[in-house]
């Protein structure tokens, strides 16, 4: 048992290290190749922070631990929005760009619904995986097109963050290539440790692999997103904090789920439990972003606190349900019958007021 916990801890540490090294090396190489700084940020960086999820889900899919893989994707998306975005907003109110409201968040919502529809037959087939990955290719193409319109301030922001302005010697290029190789190796090995430790712990406690994937594994693989967004919020780079989360969630569904379904010949099965509860929760969380983002193109501290509260309640329910606690049903009734409806009414009222109010300075800046 202690060895299983140790393997999980080592796996999480290795995933964080591998993801960070991969992002740094790949971002500088992409910039040297003449790729736009905005595209580097929205693709290479988003992919790098989602690389732990990809490594774990691919490893779990190939080993037959499909519930861990699906739970990792769904749990990571829920954790990213409720916990990471919520904590980032608690640090400082977040400003949301108009592009996120018009394109990226609706895409995240649409992909969440698409995942549910694809899984209704009990599996995500190879064809489904190909469709998801194809959507990712189109999305990246659109980002490249949009990058031609990026502002000088955006270029300077990413240049400062990832050092893309500095010239690099051949030795420096080789060092960045080495960092990418080290990052990929660390992700590959660490993902195997994490999946092994998680499956052993699930077996020991009699817990489902889906639950382990939704909680421990999902949090572990989402640490890069958490670190990147919270630090960006502390540094005042609030748009990056939000964009990283939304971009990572899109990558999780299109890339992580798509490639995980393409890898095995028969695709990956989706459990009835995930279809009944967890994927709908992921959809609800994605949809909840829309009215919040519409209210003045910002995420206030009270909205961040609400997100964090919901994540604590969701995780508490999962644990209580797993141990057959008598408290699980009252908690579900309280959330569904009182807290969620009250939140919906509050957000509907604030959205209505925001849409009727004159355009503010914050909204004007977000639209630029």
Q: How does strand 268-269 pair with strand 123-124?
A: antiparallel
Closest C-alpha to 84, from 183, 194, 232, 217: 232
pLDDT tens readout for residues 250-273:
999 999 999 999 988 888 999 998
pTM, two decimal places: 0.80
1-367 has which fold?
A middle domain of Talin 1 (1.20.1420)
- Report how far residue 280's alpha carbon sits from residue 5's, in angstroms, rounded to the nearest whole number: 30
Tens-digit pLDDT profile for residues 121-169: 999 999 999 999 999 999 888 877 776 665 555 555 555 555 555 566 7
The continuous run of DSSP H or E covering 8 comes out as helix 2-32
Regions of the chain short of the pLDDT cut 50: 361-363, 365-368
Check: CB of residue 213 under 8 Å from CB of residue 68.
yes
pLDDT at 362: 47
Asked if residues 124 and 270 have their Cβ atoms less than 8 Å apart, the reply is yes
Q: What are phi and psi of 311, to 5 degrees?
A: -65, -40
Token digits of residue 95: 């400003």
Segments in 295-327 forming alpha helices (H): 301-322
């Amino acid at each position: 048992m202690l060895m299983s916990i140790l393997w999980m801890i080592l796996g999480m540490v290795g995933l964080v290290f591998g993801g960070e090294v991969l992002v740094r090396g790949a971002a500088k190489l992409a910039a040297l190749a003449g790729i736009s700084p905005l595209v580097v940020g929205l693709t290479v960086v988003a992919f790098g922070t989602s690389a732990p999820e990809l490594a774990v889900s691919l490893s779990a899919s190939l080993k037959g631990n499909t519930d861990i893989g699906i739970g990792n994707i769904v749990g990571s998306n829920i954790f990213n929005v409720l916990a990471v975005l919520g904590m980032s907003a608690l640090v400082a109110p977040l400003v949301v760009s108009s592009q996120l409201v018009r394109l990226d968040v609706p895409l995240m919502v649409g992909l969440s619904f698409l995942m549910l529809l694809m899984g209704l037959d009990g599996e995500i087939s190879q064809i489904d995986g190909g469709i998801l990955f194809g959507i990712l290719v189109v999305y990246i193409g659109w980002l490249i097109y949009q990058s031609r319109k990026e502002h000088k301030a955006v270029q300077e922001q990413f240049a400062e963050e990832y050092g893309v302005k500095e010239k690099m010697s051949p030795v420096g290029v080789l060092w960045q290539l080495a960092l990418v190789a080290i990052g990929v190796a660390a992700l590959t090995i660490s993902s195997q440790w994490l999946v092994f430790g998680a499956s052993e712990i699930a077996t020991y406690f009699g817990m489902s692999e889906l639950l382990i994937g939704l909680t421990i594994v999902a949090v572990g693989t989402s640490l890069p997103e958490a670190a990147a967004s919270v630090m960006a919020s502390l540094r005042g780079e609030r748009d990056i904090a939000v964009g990283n989360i939304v971009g990572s969630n899109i990558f999780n569904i299109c890339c992580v789920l798509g490639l995980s379904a393409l890898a095995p010949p028969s695709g990956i099965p989706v459990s009835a439990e995930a279809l009944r509860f967890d994927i709908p929760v992921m959809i609800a969380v994605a949809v909840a972003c829309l009215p919040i983002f519409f209210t003045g193109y910002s995420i206030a501290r009270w909205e961040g606190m609400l997100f964090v509260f919901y994540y604590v309640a969701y995780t508490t329910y999962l644990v209580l349900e797993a141990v057959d606690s008598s408290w699980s049903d009252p908690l579900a009734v309280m959330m569904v019958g009182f807290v969620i409806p009250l939140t919906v009414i509050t957000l509907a009222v604030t959205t209505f007021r925001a849409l009727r109010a004159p355009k503010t300075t914050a909204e004007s800046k977000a639209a630029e």
